């Protein structure tokens, strides 16, 4: 089992954390990937195939595999945010955080007072995280539960300093494909275009200036290493479906050689 809030502690200490990314909706696949040694696994319920029932099983599976369970929630779905935290998720990725008001609303759903307005009910989280005293969990949860707001649009880029300064928001998480789509006015998905690369550096700098964690999604290990060298510290890499596809392709290529 993973140690409670271990990824939050590592990130706050300045370490780099690599996470898997799982949209496929399969707890078994997420668990299998976690067991290979990823520090965290993000279950993507915005664009992925997870429903609440599978999220509950997936959070448990990732936790028991020794990784930190995280969830990307659907757009502005604060109910899912608080519910998956109660089920044991230790990080929430929220899409399309475009304004300071968006960031405040996200933090309010994910953090207990005085930072937010999360209501009490961690029925599954406490036993998963081996906490039996409610005040002990309350004392640790705000620091140990990570809030990662996704910066994906031109509007978010314009407001990035105010977003980064929001109390209760722990990280700025770059969604490079939506960012490139938005910056190109819907004409391209070139994540290495000069305008996109400049925006990536701008978002990282805003996070560092505000004392927040720079985070990003990367399509492969090579890109992840580049982003690590550029100062990003929470880095999600590839996807479960891509990993399965690449593995199948490699087997078939060997068979046909």
- Confidence check: pLDDT of 1 > 90: no
pLDDT category of residue 227 using cuts at 50, 70 and 90? very high
Q: How long is the chain?
A: 257
Instruction: Give me the pLDDT at residue 11, please.
Output: 98
Nearest of 157, 122, 153 to residue 140 by alpha carbon:
122
pLDDT value of position 2: 77
**pLDDT digits 0-9 by tens, 96-126:** 999 999 999 999 999 999 999 999 999 999 9
CA proximity to 84, closest of 18, 170, 147, 19 = 147
Average pLDDT over all residues of the chain: 97
pLDDT 10s digits, 22-70 = 999 999 999 999 999 999 999 999 999 999 999 999 999 999 999 999 9
- What is the full DSSP assignment across 157-218? HHTHHHHHT-TT--EEEE-HHHHHHHHTTTS---TTSHHHHHHHHHHHHHHHHTT-EEEEEE
* Domain regions of the chain by residue span: 6-256
Q: How far is CA 93 from CA 123, 124, 134, in A?
A: 21, 20, 25
pLDDT band per the 50, 70, 90 thresholds, residue 228? very high
* CATH hierarchy code of domain 6-256: 3.20.20.60
CB neighbours of 160 closer than 8 A, spacing ≥ 6?
151, 172, 202, 203, 206
pLDDT of residue 198: 98
Write out the catalytic residue numbers: 47
Query: For the whole model, what pTM was predicted?
Result: 0.97
Band of pLDDT at residue 223, cut at 50, 70 and 90: very high
Q: DSSP label at 111? A: S
pLDDT digits over 193-215, tens only? 999 999 999 999 999 999 999 99
- What pLDDT shows up at residue 48? 98
Summary count for the chain: helices (H), strands (E): 13, 8
Confidence of residue 78 (pLDDT cuts 50, 70, 90): very high
SS3 96: coil
pLDDT at 106: 98
CA distance 5 to 68: 8
pLDDT one-digit tens code per residue, 146-181 = 999 999 999 999 999 999 999 999 999 999 999 999
Dihedral sign (CA 240, 247, 39, 56):
positive
Average pLDDT over residues 181-189: 95
Cis omega before residue 178 (within 30°)?
A: no
Q: How far is CA 178 from CA 135, 152, 206, in A?
A: 40, 5, 19
Does 239 score more than 90 pLDDT?
Answer: yes
């Amino acid at each position: 089992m993973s140690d409670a809030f271990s990824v939050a502690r590592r990130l706050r200490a300045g370490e780099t954390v690599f996470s898997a990314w799982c949209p496929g909706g399969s707890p078994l696949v997420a668990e299998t990937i976690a067991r290979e040694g990823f520090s965290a696994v993000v279950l993507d319920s915005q664009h992925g195939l997870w429903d609440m029932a599978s999220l509950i099983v997936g959070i448990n599976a990732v936790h028991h595999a020794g990784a930190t369970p995280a969830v990307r929630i659907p757009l502005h779905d604060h109910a899912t945010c608080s519910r998956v935290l109660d089920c044991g998720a230790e990080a929430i990725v929220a899409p399309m955080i475009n304004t300071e008001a968006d960031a405040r609303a996200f933090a309010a759903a994910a953090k207990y007072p005085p930072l937010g307005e999360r209501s009490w009910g961690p029925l599954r989280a406490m036993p998963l995280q081996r906490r039996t005293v409610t005040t002990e969990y309350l004392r640790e949860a705000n620091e140990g539960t990570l809030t990662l707001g996704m910066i994906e649009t031109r509007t978010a880029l314009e407001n990035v300093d105010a977003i980064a300064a929001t109390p209760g928001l722990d990280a700025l998480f770059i969604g490079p494909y939506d960012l490139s789509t938005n910056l190109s006015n819907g004409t391209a998905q070139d994540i290495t275009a000069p305008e996109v690369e400049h925006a990536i550096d701008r978002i990282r700098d805003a996070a560092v200036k505000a004392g927040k964690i720079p985070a990003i999604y990367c399509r492969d290990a090579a890109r992840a290493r580049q982003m690590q060298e550029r100062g990003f510290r929470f880095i999600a890499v590839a996807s479960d479906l891509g990993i399965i596809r690449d593995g199948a392709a490699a087997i078939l290529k060997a068979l046909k050689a």
